[in-house]
Amino acid sequence: MSFDTSTYNEALADAASILACRLPSAERPFFYLHLGAEYDLAGFFDAPPAEIPLHELSPSLPRARTLDGEEARLLAGRIEGVPVLASAGARRVADGHGALAALFPTALASIMGAKNHIFLDTAISLVSEFKAGRWGMLADFVSDFAFSPLEGLHGMLDKPFPDLAHTIDQSQNSEILNAMADFGEPPRLCIYHGIPGFHLPTSAEAARSRAIGADFLGHDLVLHVILSHALGCHVSALVLAGVQLLPGFPRSFTRDEMRETGLFCSGQLRQGLRRAILEVRRASEGYAENILPESDADEVLCRNIKLSATRSSPLKAFLRREPPTQEPT
């Protein structure tokens, strides 16, 4: 049995009721974290989180393990005292059970009340700036999927045809970027190209992605980001360079190599996200959409960064630099 768009809302409502009953700690989460199989979750939560296999929330969700051999499940707990709902062993469209099943945790998190979403993804770096193990912060993306994750779901949206020009929440990004910078090299803004998979790219595919301005090549992240934004959530995404594929240097690599990079880099991620979640929660009382018309994401992000006089980081040192002077004409 698979999902049908006409019954998706009903399935989500039923799942929300089951989740609230089985995991009372999942009610009214402030954050939703979308985690892949490649990250070490030890120490993410203040205490071991409660969890439930995803397939127990709906008969339309598959029981089979993901392509990474993981059991898809939801976790509910607290991070720095903030209630958080997280998905682990996340499903992908390439699992073969349909986009609605893959996107189910993101839609469910929104229904449960989580309006601050952070997505984590390990992808293929296409440029020299992102060596393996370097974090990127999503500034924009290109989707090459032949469908929209919103098809048939307009009944869930406040309005049809949501504007994707301002999908990423720059204020939330600022807090995450500052926090990550305190525990290692700060993430750089990046553009992500999402393509159908699940296969590793050919050299020609990588070259095409590079030609349209992409820093990373991956898969389902773009679908989750679009759906989350369309549901009215504050969206951020961190992308880890699992491997690097540069022009003129063809190489072979495996999915296991990318997973090993994710496990190795989980320490900075864990420390940075714990700090970021606390800072975003502290700022939430005066939280407001801050949409700026500038097209340069670097300028927008830098202008919205909240700097503290008592905290220092490589990012803040960069932001304090004097602007270049221009000779009068």
Rounded to whole angstroms, the Cα distance separating 49 from 178 reads 26
Is 196 buried (19+), middle (13-18) or exposed (0-12) by CB count in 10 A?
middle
Q: Which amino acid, residue 34?
A: H
Phi and psi based region of residue 185 (left: phi greater than 0; alpha: psi -120 to 50; beta: remaining):
beta
Structural contact between residues 34 and 224, judged by C-beta atoms closer than 8 angstroms: yes
Most confident of 3-7, 161-165, 274-278: 274-278
CB of 305 within 8 A of CB of 319? yes
Q: Which helix (H) or strand (E) holds 43?
A: none
| 188 strand-pairing partners | 136
pLDDT at residue 217 in the model: 95
Q: Quick check: 126 and 209 in contact, CB under 8 A? A: yes
Whole-number Å distance between alpha carbons of 209 and 158: 33
On the question of pLDDT at 180 being above 70, the answer is yes
Which of left, alpha, beta for 80 (phi over 0: left; psi -120 to 50: alpha)? left
Q: What is the pLDDT of residue 295?
A: 40
- Percentage of the chain exceeding pLDDT 90: 50
Domain extents in the chain:
5-319
State the fold for domain 5-319. Rossmann fold (3.40.50)
Contacts of residue 5, defined as CB under 8 A and 6 or more positions apart, other chains included, come to 100, 151, 152, 153
**Amino acid making up residue 264:** F
**pTM attached to this predicted model:** 0.83
pLDDT of residue 286: 57
In whole angstroms, what is the distance from residue 10 CA to residue 326 CA? 60
The Cβ of residue 17 has, within 10 Å, a number of other Cβ atoms equal to: 11
Return the CA Rg of the chain.
19
Q: What is the pLDDT of residues 120-145, one digit of tens each?
A: 999 999 999 999 999 999 999 999 99
Q: Is 56 helix (H, G, I), strand (E, B) or coil?
A: helix
Per the rule left: phi > 0, alpha: psi between -120 and 50, beta: everything else, 106 is alpha
pLDDT category, 247, cuts 50, 70, 90?
Answer: confident
Q: How far apart are CA 298 and CA 123, in angstroms?
A: 21
Given pLDDT bands bounded at 50, 70 and 90, which one contains residue 76? very high
By mean pLDDT, which of 25-39, 111-125, 169-183, 204-218 is the weakest?
25-39
